[in-house]
Amino acid sequence: MNLALLVPLLPLLGFLITGLGYKKLKHNQAGIIASMLVALSFIVSVTLFFILKSSGKDSATVTLFNWINIGSLNIPFAFLIDHLSLTMMMIVTGIGTLIHIYSIGYMHGDERVNSFFAQMNLFTFSMLLLVMGSNYLVLFIGWEGVGLCSYLLIGFWYKNPAYNYAARKAFIMNRIGDLGFILGILLLFFTFKSVTFSEVFQQAGALQTGSTTITLITLLLLVGALGKSAQIPLYTWLPDAMAGPTPVSALIHAATMVTAGIYMIARSSILYNLAPVTLEVIVVIGLATAIFAAIIGLKQNDIKKVLAYSTVSQLGYMFLALGLGAYSTAVFHVTTHAFFKALLFLGAGSVIHAMGGEQDIRKMGGLKSKLPVTYLTFLAATLAISGIPPFSGFFSKDMILSKAFEQNPMLYALALGGALITCFYMFRLLYLVFFGENRTANVHPHESPKVMTVPLMILAVLSTLGGFLNIPALLGGKLGFSSYLDSAVTSKSGEEMNHTTEMGLIALSLVLLAIVIYWAYNTFVKKAEVPAGDEVQLPAFQKAVANKFYVDELYRAVFEKPLASLSVFLFKKVESLILDPAVNNIGRGTAVLGALTRKLQRGNISFYLFAMVAGILLFIVFILII
């Protein structure tokens, strides 16, 4: 099992090699080294999967060294290998490898390609720490580590101030969540006297369901997850994170970072099961985010922004699943989402690459024939994210929807509505980019090199077939994926729906999806409508949607501005008008006192003599009285 150490160490090694040797490595060397090490890490993960399977155990712990050991606070630097972490490790390293390979082509010729790969490797390393940590603190190291790496990579093109701002925003939003997370860890520690998963979960059973402590712990941990997984109200950093190179977006959205919150909650499923209030909060937040972000996605014209909002929306679905207690379903959606979202982003990267850096979908069009591989793979991903059978997204999304129906048909209706919106904007994107006529004159799109298209093809296969990992009982499957996770994740068992209802629901959603796709086809291909330019005045609601409901502006007005004025106020008023003068006035007071007493010493001898005599007389009187 000590093999597990290699999994994070290999990307770390890659980081050190490409980072320290960044002046020496030429051409694609850095990319090849980085990709190979992540690929090796993937191979090790797969090997671990089989080793664990053959050993017959559910989990294994590998301790590296004692990190902090004070009093009852004992935090080993240890890794936990169980079914959940193995799943995540394989996603991170597997998808990560493909993204790394793709980047060799995408970043080819960039002057800082070596540091790009160093940071990508560091990103993978941090994410592996996150999913492998055997206690909340090691998880937190990775948690903050991915925050740092996202900061570095979003601001990779550091010459652009707007990108730097986006990077900083991502880091700070994450930090807001992290504060909640760390407070949650502390409350957890002082409740259970441990932060190690196994010990905490063992003792958790002693707590009463719904007790204040457990609710508070789970809520605080949730705050961290909201920041990392970009949920309302901490989601605004994710769309801005598009500032980074496209493979970075793929890495952030598919394999690493945003899935961290889902992973953490799934990992803490035992705690969350004890806190029904928190679960309800998660349902509300997840559903709200899913629909809200999908609506915003309808009106975005930047190819990456559309995908970004779709990520936020899909994460909302995962949260919904978590809130319903269907943790393994959430992780399953993480997996399928990793496949098709990585594919979407890499495909978008390929499009951008072909268009010479253009990201505005209004200026694209007709790329179907020019970029056949990209088109086909992109189509597969679009079908997957829309939930069309037999693509992977269908299985995971349908499971979430049916869980929602079990809980409450109202939830189901809302979630289905969100799914339809998702389908619409994804097909809008697909049609605008690949169908119709090319809307930009002097661009000659060309298919990307093999190093980029091969990862696309692999991902397309995964997106298409990934759903068969977890075939529901309805279709004669055994839910292989979910049952594999059962040893690590304690999902709430709901009442099984009868198969007729389930069939009906699926049929309903399929019919609706077909209508939506046709509608999109009608609008964007037949009528060849193109979204209006930025200068056109839109009706009020559309305008609000196009401007993302002014949430950024709201945050700026509510948080940034007051904080800035508070800063100025404290400095200009409190510091400069109260505290500083207070000190200065003490000094000045001394001087004034000096000026007063100085008058006694005018040098007038008569006065001195008088003072002397008066003093003596006083003294005599004093003695006489006593």
For position 70 contacting other proteins by CB under 8 A, the verdict is: yes
Q: CA 383, CA 131: separation in Å to the nearest integer?
A: 29
CB of 254 to other proteins, least distance (A): 24
The stretch among 85-93, 138-146, 307-315, 439-447 that binds other proteins (CB under 8 A) is 138-146
Name the segment binding other proteins (CB under 8 A); options: 38-46, 69-77, 290-298, 392-400: 69-77
Answer yes or no whether residue 3 interacts with other proteins by CB under 8 A: no
Measured from the CB of residue 534, what is the shortest distance to other proteins in angstroms? Answer: 25
Q: Applying CB under 8 A, does 144 fall inside the site for other proteins?
A: yes
Nearer to other proteins, 149 or 334 (CB): 149
Token pair 């993480």 in the structure block, residue: 334
Among 2, 55, 66, 585, binds other proteins (CB under 8 A): 66
Q: Name which of 369 and 576 has its Cβ closer to other proteins.
A: 576
Residue with tokens 């606070």: 73
Task: Note whether 116 binds other proteins by CB under 8 A.
Answer: no
Residue 393: name the closest of 354, 431, 337 by CA: 337
Cβ neighbours, 10 Å, residue 513:
23
In the list 2, 3, 55, 158, the residue contacting other proteins (rule: CB under 8 A) is 158
Which position among 53, 63, 68, 593 is part of the footprint of other proteins (CB under 8 A)?
Answer: 68
Q: Check if the beta carbon of residue 266 is closer than 8 Å to that of residue 201.
A: no
Choose among 470, 489, 198, 87: nearest CA to 322. 489
Of positions 2, 53, 58, 73, contacts other proteins by CB under 8 A: 73
Told to check if 270 binds other proteins by CB under 8 A, we report no
Cis upstream peptide for 233 (omega within 30°):
yes
> With b meaning 16 or more CB within 10 Å and e meaning fewer, what string describes 77-86?
bbbbbbbbbb
Q: Give the Cα separation of 542 and 525 in Å (integer).
A: 21
Stretch that binds other proteins, among 34-42, 241-249, 399-407, 562-570 (CB under 8 A): 562-570
**Segment interacting with other proteins (CB under 8 A) among 139-147, 324-332, 347-355, 502-510:** 139-147
Of 123, 136, 171, 263, which one interacts with other proteins (CB under 8 A)? 171
Smallest gap from Cβ 24 to other proteins, in A, equals 14
Residue from 46, 51, 172, 376 in contact with other proteins (CB under 8 A):
172
Does residue 164 interact with other proteins by CB under 8 A?
A: yes
CA distances for 306 relative to 293, 311, 487, 508, 585, angstroms: 10, 9, 37, 26, 60
CA-based nearest residue to 311, from 377, 249, 218, 233: 249
Q: Taking CB under 8 A as the rule, does residue 550 contact other proteins?
A: no
User: Considering the rule CB under 8 A, would residue 9 count as an interface residue with other proteins?
Assistant: no
Nearer to other proteins, 193 or 439 (CB): 193
**Residue 119 to residue 16: CA distance in whole angstroms:** 10
* 211 binding other proteins? (CB under 8 A): no
Q: How many degrees, rounded to 5, is the angle at CA 235 between CA 230 and CA 241?
A: 85
Stretch in the footprint of other proteins (CB under 8 A) among 166-174, 202-210, 234-242, 379-387: 166-174
How many of the chain's residues bind other proteins (CB under 8 A)? 61
Beta carbons of 433 and 351 less than 8 angstroms apart: yes
Angle at Cα 192 formed by Cα 189 and Cα 195, nearest 5°?
45
User: Residue 130 or 344: which CB sits closer to other proteins?
Assistant: 130
Q: What is the CA radius of gyration of the chain?
A: 31
Strand partners, 342: none
Q: How far is the CB of 557 from other proteins (least distance, A)?
A: 17
Assess 141 for contact with other proteins (CB under 8 A).
yes
Instruction: Give the containing element (helix H, strand E) for 621.
Output: helix 605-625
Site string for other proteins, 564-603 (x = CB under 8 A): x-xxx-xx--xx---xx-xx---x-------------xxx
Contact status, residue 347 vs residue 378, Cβ threshold 8 Å: yes
193 binding other proteins? (CB under 8 A): no
Residue numbers 486-525 binding other proteins by CB under 8 A: none
Which residue, among 472, 492, 505, has the nearest Cα to 324 in the 3D structure? 492
Q: Under rule CB under 8 A, which residues in 319-338 are in contact with other proteins?
A: none
- Region near other proteins per CB under 8 A, out of 186-194, 255-263, 439-447, 618-626: 186-194
Closer residue to other proteins in complex, CB, 61/164: 164
Burial class (CB in 10 A: 0-12, 13-18, 19+), 476: exposed
Binding span for other proteins by CB under 8 A among 97-105, 247-255, 296-304, 558-566: 558-566
Binding mask 460-489 vs other proteins (x if CB under 8 A, - otherwise)? ------------------------------
Whole-number Å distance between alpha carbons of 588 and 64? 61
The answer to whether 142 and 42 have CB atoms below 8 angstroms apart is no
Maximum alpha-carbon separation in the chain: 120
Q: Which of 26, 50, 56, 65 binds other proteins (CB under 8 A)?
A: 65
Degrees, nearest 5: CA angle 335-238-121: 60
Q: How far apart, in Å, do the first and last CA atoms of the chain sit?
A: 94
Provide the token pair at 172: 């700070």
123 touching other proteins, by CB under 8 A = no
**Which residue lies nearer to other proteins by CB, 178 or 398?**
178
- Of 82-90, 167-175, 375-383, 546-554, the segment contacting other proteins by CB under 8 A is 167-175
Rounded to the nearest whole angstrom, what is the least distance from the CB of residue 573 to other proteins in the complex? 11
Q: Which is nearer to other proteins, 160 or 501 (CB)?
A: 160
Interface with other proteins includes 292 (CB under 8 A)? no
CB within 8 Å of 609: residues ≥ 6 apart = none
- Quickly list DSSP for 93-131: HHHHHHHHHHHHHHTTT-TTHHHHHHHHHHHHHHHHHHH
Nearer to other proteins, 96 or 145 (CB): 145
Which positions lie near other proteins, rule CB under 8 A? 65-71, 73, 115, 137, 140-141, 143-145, 148, 151, 155, 158-161, 164-165, 168, 171-172, 175-176, 178-179, 182-183, 186-187, 189-190, 563-564, 566-568, 570-571, 574-575, 579-580, 582-583, 587, 601-606, 608-610, 613
